[in-house]
Amino acid sequence: MARFLKNREQVKGRSPGSLIFVGTQKVDKVNIRLIDYDDHHLIDQELLDINDAAPYKTTEAVTWININGLHDEQSIGDAGRVFDLHPLVTEDILNTGQRPKIDDYDSYIFIVLKMIRFDRQTQMIVNEQLSIVLADTFVLTFQEQPGDVFEPVRERIRRHKSRIRVSGTDYLAFTLMDTVVENYISVIEHLGEKIEDLEEDILSGHDTAVMEKIHLFKREINYLRKSIRPAKEAVFQMAKLESSLIHDKTLPFLKDLEDLITHATEAIDTYRDLLTDQLNIYNSVVANKMNDIMKVLTIFAAIFIPLTFIAGIYGTNFEYLPELRYKYSYFIFWGVLIAIAGASLYYFKKKRWF
Amino acid sequence: MARFLKNREQVKGRSPGSLIFVGTQKVDKVNIRLIDYDDHHLIDQELLDINDAAPYKTTEAVTWININGLHDEQSIGDAGRVFDLHPLVTEDILNTGQRPKIDDYDSYIFIVLKMIRFDRQTQMIVNEQLSIVLADTFVLTFQEQPGDVFEPVRERIRRHKSRIRVSGTDYLAFTLMDTVVENYISVIEHLGEKIEDLEEDILSGHDTAVMEKIHLFKREINYLRKSIRPAKEAVFQMAKLESSLIHDKTLPFLKDLEDLITHATEAIDTYRDLLTDQLNIYNSVVANKMNDIMKVLTIFAAIFIPLTFIAGIYGTNFEYLPELRYKYSYFIFWGVLIAIAGASLYYFKKKRWF
Amino acid sequence: MARFLKNREQVKGRSPGSLIFVGTQKVDKVNIRLIDYDDHHLIDQELLDINDAAPYKTTEAVTWININGLHDEQSIGDAGRVFDLHPLVTEDILNTGQRPKIDDYDSYIFIVLKMIRFDRQTQMIVNEQLSIVLADTFVLTFQEQPGDVFEPVRERIRRHKSRIRVSGTDYLAFTLMDTVVENYISVIEHLGEKIEDLEEDILSGHDTAVMEKIHLFKREINYLRKSIRPAKEAVFQMAKLESSLIHDKTLPFLKDLEDLITHATEAIDTYRDLLTDQLNIYNSVVANKMNDIMKVLTIFAAIFIPLTFIAGIYGTNFEYLPELRYKYSYFIFWGVLIAIAGASLYYFKKKRWF
Amino acid sequence: MARFLKNREQVKGRSPGSLIFVGTQKVDKVNIRLIDYDDHHLIDQELLDINDAAPYKTTEAVTWININGLHDEQSIGDAGRVFDLHPLVTEDILNTGQRPKIDDYDSYIFIVLKMIRFDRQTQMIVNEQLSIVLADTFVLTFQEQPGDVFEPVRERIRRHKSRIRVSGTDYLAFTLMDTVVENYISVIEHLGEKIEDLEEDILSGHDTAVMEKIHLFKREINYLRKSIRPAKEAVFQMAKLESSLIHDKTLPFLKDLEDLITHATEAIDTYRDLLTDQLNIYNSVVANKMNDIMKVLTIFAAIFIPLTFIAGIYGTNFEYLPELRYKYSYFIFWGVLIAIAGASLYYFKKKRWF
Amino acid sequence: MARFLKNREQVKGRSPGSLIFVGTQKVDKVNIRLIDYDDHHLIDQELLDINDAAPYKTTEAVTWININGLHDEQSIGDAGRVFDLHPLVTEDILNTGQRPKIDDYDSYIFIVLKMIRFDRQTQMIVNEQLSIVLADTFVLTFQEQPGDVFEPVRERIRRHKSRIRVSGTDYLAFTLMDTVVENYISVIEHLGEKIEDLEEDILSGHDTAVMEKIHLFKREINYLRKSIRPAKEAVFQMAKLESSLIHDKTLPFLKDLEDLITHATEAIDTYRDLLTDQLNIYNSVVANKMNDIMKVLTIFAAIFIPLTFIAGIYGTNFEYLPELRYKYSYFIFWGVLIAIAGASLYYFKKKRWF
């Protein structure tokens, strides 16, 4: 399966707005969790049916409904109906090959992001689609599988008097997005450390796996980039939406989020450049090593080949070969050999070959 | 024939707006199919003459006329007259070397796209020009050859109560464009899988055809890019046209199409970068292999050339060569040879050459 | 002479607006041709003196005056006076090193383009400066040398009832520019075919002239690009001029021209990328061939050098060399040699060196 | 620790606006210095507690409070309260991994920059975060560690009648930013000289450490770039803020600062390009040296291998080998050897191999 | 001294607006020349003191004061006072490391450019800072050293009835800038010819200095680019200033200047690309030559090493070596050698190695 384009094939030819789950089923049962709060009260419970959430929809308090597991098209369809979502929105929620984006549907804002984390087991970067629907009185979030990434947010909600308890849905949505972006940063940092650790291996030139690692990291970086760059666009668009759903006092937080995600994309670009530089350096190291190998060969060959030739001369069986008869010939012969070898070595030394 | 510029030569010097078919005739007979529908009725029939379509032109119902085969300049000319098309439009329909674009002629919108598919037989990506004329009450489509790519759209039209049955011409045009873009995605995905499959061959470095494949895929990717990037421009322009032909409720669908085609162009760019990286990696692999080859050569040469020289010494025929007389000379001689070979091996081992 | 900057040296330090011909004289005599037409009449004649054109200047009919040969500064100066041109315009006409551009002087529009064609004799791409002055009732064109490139346009004018006969000066100017751009396309196509033909030579790696050809084509492509890109800018600017000289019904034709020249610049960029890819592939081919050469050398050396050494052992003249005495020594010796050679071959085979 | 992303991990999951010091503690004690001046008076003193600065907050005179050391979250929190700073501002001050930026909070402007200097001891470029809060009557600056970089500014303030004494807080903030940018320039200049000094080593091709140096300098340059480019954005944004805090007469100074920082970023880009060129040249030098090495090897081998072969012929022990018997054989043999060697040398000379 | 950043160190920590000369003193004495003209009169004289220019300041006639030599901070300070220049302007005039720019100070426009020329002696491109102050009735120019580059302008002023005599200060400033840009063109042309001359050396691959030349030219081109690109920005800004100092009839001339400097920057980019291509081609040439060298080595080795081995066999001293006894052994032996050599040659020929 091509990694950069997920499962589009499955929906080809269907009508836009059809509810078809596109992706791999990652969880057994759909899991719905409702948190309803304002500065006075807090309700935190699991729901069995999304229809049970209907009464919370129009209350003044902030209602956050998180749905884990997207394979149950029925539930997502129900959620769409209960919360009056456009068919394209429910389609996009189900289609996990969606590009990060933000769409303003007047009565609500629809945000798609990629949640990225490093899987310690496979040593791979995995991502998961997170859809957020931000309305006046509720926030819906849709994840592919349960995870404890939003647990710190819930902790903050549980704390009485926290800023989140006294703010609206927009601040909740910001907090969730902020959490996602903080995750980007730590994945990049993790990958970045590995990339920087390559340096030493590269300059020694011993490890031939270096090249494969560079290539692997480059792919990972490109993979991250593909998710984070459109997310950056979405974040910048959000601050410019002029939607009544986003209050003025949330704007500085969005601006801070812009800085954070810009930071992330710049770090990605920096590591991309670093990897390109590393490959160049590695190639230079390899070329240099080749020179060294050839020098060894050439020195050996240039010294011994002439010597062997001279020995060969006196190994001929000519009947009249005067030198063979003289008593000191053998020693003169050795002298000549040593002189030639010395001259060669001096020549290579002068050329700074060793 | 240069693949990137089609047949322009044929029209050089003709007046713009002249009706000349530019391309290769791909179908024997022009084939005209009319579908006329609203939520109450549905007419689906083949027409023998485009002039028979005239009565449907002004009815309220949505009329979709699809014409396969462009070599019959007469028919296209008739179509132009029946539906009041600008001479430049009919010229562009006939000229299959057209760049994807969108032109707003007030009473209708003219869209040119490339329909792209992977030909299983030739293992090549082929494209075909698709021209769409979107007017208030009718949609004209012109294809180079018949294909069943729009069959799912017809299926949807046949279904009573489908969204397409209750929507206008703009939604029909969107659906056709969406189908085309979905096709781009699956061609890119198909090519992408092949590109990703290259990885293994590259790192092994055995297959010398890798380079040719990289080169071939790069050309295919560039070829796709050349068709899809202007199509992306056209899609984005369409959403910004502020034409009365495009209704507000179709806009979210166009926005969705924008996301889809952005997705496609980003995937193309990702694969382009990947191919460039792959070529770099391949070059590094080749350089590394060269190092390995040279190491083998150098080790052999550095060990055996001095040994041969020493054997050569004792192969000389000097009359006074004292070592030859001693009884154990031969065994000492072997000892010296083995010591030299061992020292060389130790040296190369220490340099981590093997 | 630097090819990318023509003859600027000649005008250094002169006052802007001075009439100095900058370039190489390419024609003996200045040649002036006047065509005056509307839908009723057509005058087509050679003029001896540009001053004879003065009466046609203000008539309602479209007057097209084409001047071949720019070395006669007097004539151009006269033309400037007769048609009230700004001194900078006449200077630019004479300076053949001008960058393609469009300038709006309210009462007329001044357009500079490069006419590009492939010279079959020198196998080089040559270009020539074409200046167009578009006014309300006349169009002036200035070429460096006579050519039949505009003959098809004259043909169309001669045809009664052709669109050109019933249109204004703006349509004439468009037609001339369209002709020039069509010429770009065919030069690019011609060069493109040559570039695509290189492929085969590159992958075989035999032809060492490939590199020179790649380099040559790259220069040609860059040369084209230098002329066509500013021409594209000029075309796009023209459609946006909001000049009263350009009528609304000519706008679709200008838009068509924009598409055509965008097509041309995209084709140039595609071929540039292709050439870069080709050079990369060629370098890989060369590196691969080097590997093959070194493998042959290493296989020969690694097999025969040890064998020669062993032969050398038994060529020594030690008095006590026991093996020499045994009857089957020689055959055992051959056996050992063959075993060593076989082992080496097996080793290289296993490493897939051949 | 990844160098490009500092310590974000420490704050993950905390609420935005929480006061947590992110970084390494670089100084023992927080150090607070207050300078309060107008053209008549000057107060310059150390404060023990930031709360002591409260009375100066609203006076007409310019108050500059510089705080060194950020690890004491309590002090920074107090400063935030005393001067009414938004929680995000105090958070950003404490988080030393902040991206350079400028935020307008109406009643004050918050500026984050990186102070860059070359550490003579470690021979590394180090940076430190500088936060500036510019309000109507006061300027706050927060540094990670004490340094004398702002001493020249204090000198100027001490001088009676200096421009700074008669200007407002905006001019003071400009002066501080100007000092920081001047520091960028001198760090770039320092690094630039080292880069330019590499040239000679590269062209000689002797020093194998060249490659490592190029790589190191490239990282340093990228590191600088990562700090200075967003600083440039911030400076350009500042001039466009239309804040009442920035007076018209300060604008020419800001424009000058824009030029200076543009100068800095251009110098960085120039050195980046230079390093890329240097690596390319170095690779060419290495390839050329390889050619030289191979030429030596080939000349030796091509001359002596045939000679050794001929000597080997006459070292065979065939019983009937006629040449061995002739008296002058040995001398003819030498003649042939010399002739062959001469011919080889002549051939290589003609090919210009030496 | 880093070449790309001049002498900033000298002003670090000083107050902006301080008058400090930054650069190398290039002339002994400051030299002041005043030209005052309108269409009726012309005054052309040397001044000893800039204060003597004060009376001309407000007359209707155009006054051009050229000051050569910037080391005399006193004079420049006086000039600043006499002509009411902002302290930043005089600072920038003295600081010869200034980036080309244009600043509008309402009552005057301040322009900084680099005057570039090729020094025949050092064969280096040298540049010098030119500052222009354009006011309603006067133009001030400041050069680092005297040069006759503006002599042609003076010539034109001396000519009665020249356009310059009847135009205002804006036309004079344009003329000076035009002269500077014409100089850019001729320096680029000069360098370009040298670059194009490299081609032949590159394709022969003999001259190893080619690489150093490419590198040198690349630096020169980058150096030019660094001066000319900001100059281009300045020229384009000037035409958009909407300052009352620039009259409508000067605008076409400024537009012409825009074309000229765009021409210059495009030529620089073209040569940059050409140099990159040349280095690539050179590397290919070197790799190809390596292949040739290795082929020679391999052919020699592959032919003679096996032959030597065979000769070695018959040089062994085995007592029972049957072949040695046969009468025709020696001739058969030669036959085998020749057959093997011939087969090898045939093999290499078939592989098209020579």
CATH of the domain spanning C291-350: 1.20.58.340
State residue B258's pLDDT score: 93
Burial of B42: CB neighbours in 10 Å, binned 0-12, 13-18, 19+:
middle
Mean pLDDT for chain D?
Answer: 86
Say which CATH architecture domain B288-350 belongs to. Up-down Bundle (1.20)
- How is D209-244 classified by DSSP, letter by letter? HHHHHHHHHHHHHHHHHHHHHHHHHHHHHHHT---T
Q: Is B180 on the interface with A (CB under 8 A)?
A: no
**What is each CA distance from E303 to A284, D309, D339, E309, in whole angstroms?**
34, 10, 19, 11
Q: Which residues of B fall within a CB distance of 8 Å from C285?
A: 211
| Greatest pairwise CA separation for chain C in angstroms | 120
Mean pLDDT for chain A?
Answer: 86
The predicted-structure confidence for C227-259, as pLDDT tens digits, reads as follows 999 999 999 999 888 889 999 989 999 999 999
- How is A98-117 classified by DSSP, letter by letter? PPPEEEE-SSEEEEEEEEEE
CA-wise closest residue to E180 among E131, E233, E214, E108: E131
What pairing do the DSSP bridges indicate for beta strands A108-119 and A101-104?
antiparallel
How many CB atoms are closer than 10 A to CB A252? Answer: 18
Distance, in Å, from the CA atom of C221 to the CA atom of C266, rounded to the nearest integer, reads 12
Residue of D nearest to E289 (CA): D291
Mean pLDDT for chain B?
Answer: 86
The residue that leads in pLDDT, B146 or D155, is D155
Residue C57 has φ and ψ, to the nearest 5°, of -55, -45
The predicted-structure confidence for B17-35, as pLDDT tens digits, reads as follows 666 666 666 666 788 999 9
Count of residues making up chain A: 354
**What is each CA distance from B254 to A93, B242, B266, C264, E281, in whole angstroms?**
18, 13, 18, 29, 47
Task: Categorize the per-residue pLDDT at C126 as very low, low, confident or very high, splitting at 50, 70 and 90.
Answer: confident
Task: Categorize the per-residue pLDDT at B49 as very low, low, confident or very high, splitting at 50, 70 and 90.
Answer: confident
Residues forming CATH 3.30.460.20 domain(s) in chain C = 8-284
What pairing do the DSSP bridges indicate for beta strands B42-47 and A108-119?
unpaired
* Model confidence at B9: pLDDT above 50: no
Q: Is E186 on the interface with C (CB under 8 A)?
A: yes
Q: At what angle do helices D251-313 and D209-239 cross, to 10 degrees?
A: 160
Cβ distance C140 to C57 under 8 Å? no
What 8-state DSSP symbol labels residue E22?
Answer: B
Residues forming CATH 1.20.58.340 domain(s) in chain C = 291-350
Considering only CB atoms, E297 lies closest to which of D280, D302, D313, namely D302
Query: Which tokens belong to D60?
Result: 């007409």
Highest mean pLDDT of the ranges B147-151, B165-169, C285-289 = B165-169
State residue B269's pLDDT score: 92
- How is B21-70 classified by DSSP, letter by letter? -BS----SS-EEEEEEE-SS-EEEEEESSGGGGGGGGGSSSEEEEEEE--
What pairing do the DSSP bridges indicate for beta strands C138-143 and C62-68?
parallel
Q: Is A312 on the interface with B (CB under 8 A)?
A: yes
State residue A98's pLDDT score: 86
Residues pairing with E326 in the sheet:
none
* Model confidence at D36: pLDDT above 50: yes
* Model confidence at B252: pLDDT above 50: yes
Considering only CB atoms, E226 lies closest to which of D162, D182, D270, namely D270
Query: How high is the ipTM of this complex?
Result: 0.79
CA-wise closest residue to A295 among D206, E285, B293, D292: D292
Which of E284, E290, E333 would best serve as a mutation to test chain C binding (most C beta carbons within 10 A)? E284
- How is E85-110 classified by DSSP, letter by letter? --HHHHHHHHBTTPPPEEEE-SSEEE
C214 to chain E, closest Cα gap in Å: 9
Distance, in Å, from the CA atom of A275 to the CA atom of A270, rounded to the nearest integer, reads 9
CA-wise closest residue to C300 among B334, B304, E288, B309: B304
* Model confidence at D4: pLDDT above 90: no
E192–C5 C-beta distance less than 8 A: yes
* Model confidence at C27: pLDDT above 80: no
* Model confidence at B8: pLDDT above 50: no
State residue A1's pLDDT score: 33
Task: Categorize the per-residue pLDDT at C60 as very low, low, confident or very high, splitting at 50, 70 and 90.
Answer: confident
Question: What b/e string do you get for D170-197 counting C-beta neighbours within 10 Å, with b at 16 or more?
Answer: bbbbbbbbbbbbbbbbbbbbbbbeebbe
Cβ distance D309 to E42 under 8 Å? no
Residues forming CATH 1.20.58.340 domain(s) in chain D = 290-350
Q: Which residues of B fall within a CB distance of 8 Å from C274?
A: 219, 222
State residue A289's pLDDT score: 87
Cβ distance E263 to C22 under 8 Å? no
Considering only CB atoms, D270 lies closest to which of E1, E4, E316, namely E4
Element (H or E) spanning E117, and its range? strand E108-119
State residue B286's pLDDT score: 87
Q: Which residue has the tokens 């001729």?
A: E186
Virtual torsion, Cα A234, A240, A243, A248, nearest 10 deg: 120
Question: What b/e string do you get for E260-272 counting C-beta neighbours within 10 Å, with b at 16 or more?
Answer: bbbbbbbbbebbb
Q: CA quadruple D238, D242, D244, D248: dihedral positive or negative?
A: positive
> Which CATH fold would you assign to the domain C8-284?
Beta Polymerase; domain 2 (3.30.460)
CA-wise closest residue to E180 among E128, E223, E221, E133: E128
How many alpha carbons fall within 13 Å on the CB side of residue E5? 31
Distance, in Å, from the CA atom of B51 to the CA atom of A243, rounded to the nearest integer, reads 51
User: Which pLDDT tens digits describe chain E residue by residue (354 residues)?
Assistant: 334 444 444 445 556 666 666 666 666 678 899 999 998 899 999 998 888 888 888 888 999 999 988 877 888 889 999 999 999 999 999 988 888 999 999 899 999 999 998 877 877 888 889 999 999 999 999 998 877 789 889 999 998 888 899 899 999 999 999 999 999 999 999 999 999 888 878 877 666 688 888 888 998 998 899 999 999 999 999 988 888 999 998 999 999 999 999 999 999 999 999 999 888 888 888 888 888 888 899 998 999 999 999 999 998 888 888 888 888 888 899 999 999 999 999 998 888 887
The predicted-structure confidence for C159-190, as pLDDT tens digits, reads as follows 888 889 989 999 999 999 999 999 999 999 99
Q: Is C330 on the interface with E (CB under 8 A)?
A: yes
Distance, CA of A201 to chain centre: 22
Distance, in Å, from the CA atom of D66 to the CA atom of D139, rounded to the nearest integer, reads 8
What homologous superfamily does CATH list for D290-350?
Answer: Magnesium transport protein CorA, transmembrane region (1.20.58.340)
**What is each CA distance from E294 to C280, D77, D283, E281, in whole angstroms?**
21, 72, 19, 20
CA-wise closest residue to C50 among C62, C26, C68: C68
Positions of chain A with pLDDT lower than 70, given as ranges = 1-28, 205-208
**What is each CA distance from C47 to A33, C42, C51, E25, E259, in whole angstroms?**
90, 15, 9, 63, 33
The predicted-structure confidence for D285-327, as pLDDT tens digits, reads as follows 888 888 888 889 999 899 999 999 999 999 888 888 888 888 8
| Greatest pairwise CA separation for chain E in angstroms | 120
State residue A154's pLDDT score: 92
Instruction: Of A9-13, B247-251, D30-34, give the lowest mean pLDDT range.
Output: A9-13
Cβ distance C6 to C22 under 8 Å? yes
State residue D207's pLDDT score: 64
E343 to chain D, closest Cα gap in Å: 17
State residue D14's pLDDT score: 57
Query: Which tokens belong to B279?
Result: 């070529």
Number of helical (H) and strand (E) elements in chain D, helices listed first: 8, 7
State residue D8's pLDDT score: 45
Q: Which residues of E fall within a CB distance of 8 Å from C284?
A: none
What pairing do the DSSP bridges indicate for beta strands A101-104 and A124-135?
unpaired
- How is A289-304 classified by DSSP, letter by letter? HHHHHHHHHHHHHHHH
Q: Which residues of A fall within a CB distance of 8 Å from D208?
A: 288
CA-wise closest residue to A298 among A347, A249, A250: A347
Residue D350 has φ and ψ, to the nearest 5°, of -60, -35
The predicted-structure confidence for B280-290, as pLDDT tens digits, reads as follows 888 888 888 88
* Model confidence at B2: pLDDT above 60: no
* Model confidence at C3: pLDDT above 50: no
Check: pTM over 0.95? Answer yes or no. Answer: no
Helices (H), C5-150: 73-82, 87-94
Radius of gyration of the CA atoms of chain B, in A: 34
Distance, in Å, from the CA atom of D291 to the CA atom of D273, rounded to the nearest integer, reads 27
State residue C58's pLDDT score: 81
Radius of gyration of the CA atoms of chain E, in A: 34
Which of A316, A329, A333, A345 would best serve as a mutation to test chain D binding (most D beta carbons within 10 A)? A316
Residues 6+ apart with CB under 8 A from D112: D92, D98, D99, D100, D101, D102, D129, D130, D131, D132, D234
Query: Which tokens belong to E152?
Result: 């042609």
Residues forming CATH 1.20.58.340 domain(s) in chain B = 288-350
State residue C265's pLDDT score: 94
Q: Is B317 on the interface with C (CB under 8 A)?
A: yes
Residues 6+ apart with CB under 8 A from D288: D205, E208, E211, E286
Cβ distance D50 to D62 under 8 Å? no
**What is each CA distance from C129 to C201, C236, E2, in whole angstroms?**
36, 19, 43
**What is each CA distance from B151 to B26, B158, B176, D280, E136, in whole angstroms?**
20, 10, 10, 55, 74
Query: Which tokens belong to E138?
Result: 């006067």
Residues 6+ apart with CB under 8 A from E61: E36, E37, E38, E41, E137
Distance, in Å, from the CA atom of E79 to the CA atom of E89, rounded to the nearest integer, reads 11
Distance, in Å, from the CA atom of E331 to the CA atom of E158, rounded to the nearest integer, reads 98
